[in-house]
Amino acid sequence: MGLKWIDSRELAIELAEQFPDIDPRTVRFTDLREWILALDHFDDDPEHCGERVLEAVQQCWIEEAD
């Protein structure tokens, strides 16, 4: 089963594993969106992503990094 936009915590964990040297506080939303779309387990409509979704993923990633 693939990850969806609503899976903020799981997406954040995947991103933290894929980009261990990146500080999530410095990531631009345009990059964040592209990285999520490129994840192997991601399976959702690219058009269903908004700023609030990206903020939620970024916040979870920050929490994972801390």
pTM confidence score: 0.94
* Average pLDDT score over residue span 10-17: 97
* Average pLDDT score over residue span 8-30: 97
Question: Own/partner pairs for 10-15, CB < 8 Å, 24+ apart?
Answer: 11/36, 11/39, 11/42, 11/57, 11/60, 12/57, 12/58, 12/60, 12/61, 12/63, 12/64, 13/60, 13/64, 14/39, 14/41, 14/42, 15/39, 15/57, 15/61
Percentage of the chain lying above the pLDDT 90 cut? 95
**CATH value at residue 48:** 1.10.10.600
* Average pLDDT score over residue span 47-62: 96
- Residue 12's pLDDT is 98
The answer to whether residue 30 sits within a structural domain is yes
* Average pLDDT score over residue span 17-29: 96
- Residue 1's pLDDT is 72
The answer to whether residue 16 sits within a structural domain is yes
The answer to whether residue 41 sits within a structural domain is yes
The answer to whether residue 14 sits within a structural domain is yes
